[in-house]
Amino acid sequence: MFNKSSLFICVAALTFAFVSCETQQKPEPEKLATPTLSITEQTANSFTVSWNSVENAAGYAYALQDEAEQTTTNTSVTYSDLEAATYTLKVKATSGTEEWSDSDYAEISIDLTAPQLTFTFEVKDLTATSATVVCTPSDDNAPYWFDTMSKADFDSYSSDTEQLMKEVLDQLIALGEEEGLSVEETLEILLSIGQDTWTPTAMTPATDYVVYAFGMSYDGTFTSDIQTQGFTTLENGGGDVNPAIENWIGTWSATTTGKLEWYQPEGSQYVEALYHEDDPMTATFTIEQNTNDPSQLLIYGWSQVDSSLPALGLVNEAGDLDVYSYVAVGEESNGYTPTWVAFCKIGEDDYNLVTGQFPAYTFTLNGETATSTLYSDALNDGSTFSVISMEVYAIAETSYSIYGSSFPVYFLGGNITLTKEPASTKAASTLASEVNFPVFNQHKAFSARNNFVSIAE
């Protein structure tokens, strides 16, 4: 006779066997993505290889040539004190769970057999505030970076010049990003090929500087060590020069309280002005000492039409900066004539152009900031006026023009606040010339319709 209890046991055993069979069928682990390798630093006897972070990886295994495999959780590895040779590094992502398996190896070749890039420097045309530096590489086809900095700043990196190279690269990349450029696009603009010349300005008189250079490829890989040469700027230009002039040499960010708009009414051959009293503008001023007349300061950046045209400044006995003209007029060999044409507010509600030989703006320094006072006086008829803006061209004794490729154009207006910036860099200057093309590169003159009046003597 069939036993019911035996049937129950049999069914239970079959069920257990079925479940056990299911748990033994595990899915195959998924392979991790293969890292992408790049050489991020390289000198004559060292290199650094970096790679992207691989999702779900617990770490990375790597091996150079036939050496034993090593592991790391970093995404880069550095080798130094190497002999000249070609090296192969392989890297894979490693798994820490059963769900994933190690990736395939990625390999990269590093060539340290190429001769070390070297540089020779020539420093010439030294003045108290500028110099001309010529850099000549040993390989005319190898890209490189060169620049100048004060010896005091360079000495702060004396034990780690590689850190300086990294900081320079970071700064170059950041400048390019501001212009929407990739790393390669940025470095193709900024790096030099063959002999190159750089003329730093706004330097400090009687100060030690260093010109330095190092090789770098367009992907940001360092290809040589830093080489340097020192030089010293000249003493200030004579005993009659106000020593306070040094306080003004450098780069300044400028912010105005307003702006002056010149526009051309429809169908008119003239332009008219509209002052926006509470509409600020910004600019960057680079103030340099005039090499032909050390008592004068040339202020680049005031002009919104042509940045190559300097305004003229003189430092008075109080140490303040008097700005006489938006464009310095005259022969460089004889210095510049302090004269200006200014757009002014006359009386309560009238505006007109005024000519004269007085400082239109006076800047007073307080630490790293300077604030302006606008010139005001009386005209021949007894009415009072105050300066609003200076960007007007004098083309004859009583003839003036406003320039622009199209209208409206906007000029700095109202009071101006200056803030001292770090010394302008070769990189910023190069990018500005290559990327930020001047808006008004095709000048077109329009005569202003206003009458012109002169300041009372």
Q: Which residue has the tokens 């590489």?
A: 137
Tell me which of 232, 266, 288 is where a domain ends. 232
Same domain, 228 and 267: no
Supply the pLDDT for residue 4.
44
Q: Specify if 4 maps to a domain.
A: no
- pLDDT at residue number 335: 54
Q: Same domain, yes or no, for 216 and 297? A: no
Identity of the amino acid at 215: G
Q: Within this chain, do residues 218 and 249 fall inside the same structural domain, yes or no? A: no
Of residues 72 and 111, more confidence is placed in 72
- For residue 397, give both structure tokens: 């004794």
Q: Is the pLDDT of residue 451 over 90?
A: no
3-class DSSP state of 121: strand
353 inside domain: yes
pLDDT of residue 333: 47
Is omega for the bond preceding 200 within 30 degrees of 0, making it cis? no
pLDDT of residue 326: 52
Q: What is the pLDDT of residue 434?
A: 65
What is the arithmetic mean of pLDDT over 217-232?
91
Please give the tally of structural domains in the chain.
Answer: 3
Judged against a pLDDT cut of 50, whether residue 443 lies above it is answered with no
Burial class (CB in 10 A: 0-12, 13-18, 19+), 306: middle
- Mean pLDDT for the stretch of residues 317-334: 69
Does some domain include residue 327? yes
Is residue 334 classed as helix, strand or coil in its secondary structure? helix
Same structural domain for residues 86 and 169?
no
pLDDT recorded at residue 24 = 58
Specify the CATH number for the domain of residue 91: 2.60.40.10
Alpha helices in 332-442 (DSSP H): 426-434
Say yes or no to pLDDT of 219 above 50.
yes
Q: Do 267 and 372 lie in a common domain? A: yes
Identify whether residues 253 and 399 lie together within a single domain: yes
Range of the domain at 48: 30-111
Q: Are residues 355 and 424 in the same domain?
A: yes
**407, two tokens:** 């209208």
pLDDT of residue 401: 65
- pLDDT at position 430: 74
Q: For residue 191, is it within any domain?
A: yes
Buried-exposed string 210-231: b where 16+ CB fall within 10 A, e elsewhere = bbbbbbbbeebbbbbbbbbbeb
164 and 310 share one domain: no
**Is residue 58 domain-shared with residue 129, that is, in the same domain?**
no
62 or 340, which is more confident: 62
Asked whether residue 202 is assigned to any structural domain, the reply reads: yes
Q: Which residue has the higher pLDDT, 49 or 128?
A: 49
pTM of structure: 0.54
Q: How far is it, in rounded angstroms, from Cα 281 to Cα 420? A: 17
Q: What is the pLDDT of residues 80-98, one digit of tens each?
A: 999 989 999 999 999 989 9
Please give the share of the chain, as a percent, with pLDDT higher than 70. 79
pLDDT top residue among 232 and 406: 232
Q: Indicate whether 264 belongs to any domain.
A: yes
Q: What is the pLDDT of residues 289-322, one digit of tens each?
A: 887 778 888 898 888 877 777 888 899 999 999 9
Q: Name the percent of the chain lying above pLDDT 90.
A: 42
Asked if residue 445 has pLDDT above 80, the reply is no
- Same domain, yes or no, for 303 and 428? yes
Q: Does residue 11 carry a pLDDT above 60?
A: no
Q: Tokens in use for 380?
A: 């021949």
For residues 161 and 248, state if they share a domain: no
- What pLDDT does residue 94 have? 97
How many residues does the structure list for the chain?
457
The residue among 189, 206, 232 that closes a domain is 232
Confidence of residue 437 (pLDDT cuts 50, 70, 90): very low
Alpha carbons 380 and 283: distance in angstroms, whole number: 34
The chain-wide mean pLDDT, for the chain, equals 81
Tell me the three state secondary structure of residue 276: strand
Lowest mean pLDDT among 26-30, 380-384, 422-426: 422-426
Q: Which two tokens stand for residue 431?
A: 């990018």
